């Protein structure tokens, strides 16, 4: 029997054969906080209660109640605060570096389970992998700016899981002083917030930010309290009394609190474009309540991230394709973007600048990306480039440049461009027809090079070109986790030099690694010029 004793009790796990070599030990469904039920709904996570005897850790814990975009069904539970530990050795001669994964999904869906995030590729590189579930959407990110519902419960769940790792990972052979947090999409944005939050300080040594960042407009929710009040009215609460509203939300059946799009402005309601209704907020201060984040994101970032951490940051070649998924109405996009110049206005300018400025900004963006052409199926590639820059390229490089300016952290930057049969996210998201004649590197297409994707798994030969790329990518990620340097020796053929203010070094990750400088500089420079002229608070 495979047993480990942690601070809360004894766990029984399993030893699993890794079809890519060796074996590993698996411990699933470990509670890292009390179930957030009843009066604990919307509140920060509480420490879990110890158990007596041996707790089986052979099955995943429930995931947060959600609409599953891959399986097109509603499932999960409000009792969802569980994590999983996969370790190559339980009693190594030297403690093993730890990689702590934060899943993406727009803060709306996803989990740490192995349908997308299996451990096999990473543990063969001799690291421990920890994956987690956390509260999502309304359950995780409702904010009333009150002591009972201050906001950010879902990202405080992540902090609780990190604290659990710091306290317990030694029992699994891990090194609590060498923890790397990493995440993709909304998970990447969360990682970048942890780099700034006082609650997260000291809980990790390194961070990898994949295709999502705190300076992206999506996770930064505009007017969170007002959105919560709109939701309350939509669900039938007519009271203006604070206590009544909180009790109303606590009494709602869970199915009323998922798949909710609260579009606050006329533009949000009309515009065919992604909108996050519940996300990370600037919290108000209340006695006895830990505050995860406070302040304007750009002001906080300019004061610096935690000085004792190293960070790797980047994005994929064709990020914006993801926004063509699901129920995206392309004819409506074409109509709006051709007839309304405000369509091409980034969120910070949309909510802070008058319409006359928005019209001028929209004119410049449309000319930069489309010239005299119309937005149509013939220019869809240009539309994808605009969406990629709006949500990923400009915010990611902006974050990197602001942090590099202080010269307090070792930074690395990459652009992911691996192409093989592993690039499956256009198929997973239901948009293959638009790109059936080409292999693209969509948002999320980096993930199958880091994790086996069980829900769409292929039989992959270890002699294939795709597996060689998997081996290369996982070496880069785990080298960074082990040493703070993705290329500590010459085995990968290229030296990945740090990104600095003077030397904007980065690596293009594809079949072969290519060192370069100033990623997407023409795109960044154009966006930066717009913000400097019309809303300089955002610019570097």
- Among 116, 133, 192, residue whose Cα is nearest residue 449: 116
SS3 67: strand
Q: How far apart are the first and last CA of the chain?
A: 56
In this structure, how many other beta carbons lie within 10 angstroms of the beta carbon of residue 142? 29
Residues 6+ apart with CB under 8 A from 502: none
For 490, half-sphere exposure in the C-beta direction (CA atoms, 13 angstrom radius) is: 0
Are the C-beta atoms of residues 499 and 413 closer than 8 Å to each other? yes
Query: What Cα–Cα distance (Å) separates residue 195 from each residue in 169, 389, 477?
Result: 21, 23, 18
Distance between CA 529 and CA 532 in Å, rounded? 5
DSSP 48: P
The tokens 């990790």 sit on which residue? 204
Nearest alpha-carbon partner for 102 in 87, 84, 89: 84
Q: How far apart are CA 16 and CA 90, in angstroms?
A: 13
Beta strands in 289-400 (DSSP E): 310-316
For residues 519 and 413, is the Cβ–Cβ distance under 8 A?
A: yes
DSSP-derived secondary structure letter, 63: P
Token pair 């030099």 is at which residue? 497
Phi, psi of 46 (to 5 degrees): -105, 155
E strand residue ranges, 7-91:
9-17, 23-31, 54-56, 66-68, 73-75, 82-87
Kindly state the DSSP code that residue 221 receives in the 8-state scheme.
Answer: -
Among candidate residues 156, 141, 146, 84, the one with its CA nearest the CA of residue 109: 141
Out of 185, 197, 211, 396, pick the active-site residue: 185
Could you tell me the two tokens for 514? 């290519």
Phi, psi of 245 (to 5 degrees): -65, -45
Quick check: 113 and 129 in contact, CB under 8 A?
no
Q: Which of 103, 194, 306, 443 is catalytic?
A: 443
The answer to whether 160 and 32 are in contact (CB under 8 A) is yes
The residues facing 508 across adjacent strands are 415, 514
Residue 529 among the catalytic residues: no
Give the tokens for residue 407.
């010269």
The length of the chain in residues reads 540
- H-helix or E-strand containing 182? strand 174-184
Q: Which of 319, 350, 504, 528 is catalytic?
A: 319
Q: Give dist(CA 123, CA 474) in Å, integer.
A: 10
Residue 24 · residue 118 · CB < 8 Å: no
Kind of pairing, strands 128-132 and 82-87? Answer: antiparallel
Active site residue 319: yes
Q: Active-site positions?
A: 185, 319, 443
């Amino acid at each position: 029997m495979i047993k480990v004793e942690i601070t809360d009790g004894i766990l029984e796990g399993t030893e699993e054969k890794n079809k890519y070599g060796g074996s590993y030990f698996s411990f699933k469904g470990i509670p890292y906080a009390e179930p957030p039920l009843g009066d604990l709904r919307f509140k920060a996570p509480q420490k879990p209660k110890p158990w007596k005897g041996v707790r089986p850790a052979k099955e995943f814990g429930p995931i947060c109640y959600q609409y599953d975009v891959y399986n097109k069904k509603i499932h999960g539970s409000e009792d969802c605060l569980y994590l999983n530990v996969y370790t190559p050795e339980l009693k190594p001669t030297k403690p093993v570096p730890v990689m702590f994964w934060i899943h993406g999904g727009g803060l709306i869906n996803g989990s740490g389970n192995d349908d997308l995030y299996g451990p096999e590729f990473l543990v063969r590189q001799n690291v421990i992998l920890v994956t987690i579930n956390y509260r999502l959407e309304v359950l995780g990110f409702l904010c009333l700016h009150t002591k009972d519902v201050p906001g950010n419960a879902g990202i405080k769940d992540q902090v609780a899981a990190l604290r659990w790792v710091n306290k317990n990972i030694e029992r699994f052979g891990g090194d609590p002083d060498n923890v790397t947090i990493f995440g993709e999409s909304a998970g990447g944005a969360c990682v970048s917030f942890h780099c700034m939050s006082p609650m997260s300080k000291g809980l990790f040594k390194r961070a990898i930010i994949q295709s999502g960042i705190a300076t992206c407009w999506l996770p930064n929710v505009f007017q969170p309290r007002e959105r919560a009040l709109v939701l309350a009215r939509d669900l039938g609460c007519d009271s203006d009394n604070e206590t009544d509203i909180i009790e109303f939300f606590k009494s709602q059946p869970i199915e009323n609190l998922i798949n909710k799009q609260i579009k606050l402005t006329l533009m949000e309601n009309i515009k065919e474009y992604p909108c996050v209704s519940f996300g990370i907020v600037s919290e108000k201060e209340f006695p006895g309540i830990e505050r995860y984040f406070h302040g304007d994101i750009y002001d906080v970032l300019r004061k610096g991230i935690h000085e004792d951490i190293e960070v790797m940051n980047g994005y994929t070649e064709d990020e914006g394709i993801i926004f063509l998924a699901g129920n995206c109405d392309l004819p409506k996009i074409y109509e709006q973007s051709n007839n309304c110049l405000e369509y091409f206005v980034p969120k910070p300018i949309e909510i802070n600048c008058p319409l006359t400025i928005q019209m001028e900004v929209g004119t410049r963006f449309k000319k930069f990306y489309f010239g005299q052409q119309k937005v149509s199926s013939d220019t869809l590639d240009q539309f994808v480039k605009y969406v990629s820059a709006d949500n990923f390229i400009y915010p990611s490089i902006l974050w990197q440049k602001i942090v590099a300016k202080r010269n307090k952290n070792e930074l690395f930057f990459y652009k992911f461009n691996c192409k093989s049969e592993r690039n499956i996210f256009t198929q997973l998201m239901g948009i293959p027809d638009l790109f059936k004649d080409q292999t693209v590197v969509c948002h999320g297409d980096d993930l199958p090079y880091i994790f086996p994707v069980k829900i769409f798994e292929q039989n992959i030969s270890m002699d294939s070109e795709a597996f060689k790329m998997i081996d290369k990518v996982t070496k880069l990620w785990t080298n960074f986790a082990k040493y703070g340097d993705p290329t500590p020796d010459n085995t990968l053929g290229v030296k990945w030099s740090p990104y600095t203010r003077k030397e904007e070094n980065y690596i293009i990750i594809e079949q072969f690694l290519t060192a370069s400088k100033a990623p997407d500089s023409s795109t960044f420079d154009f966006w930066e010029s717009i913000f400097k002229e019309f809303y300089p608070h955002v610019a570097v």
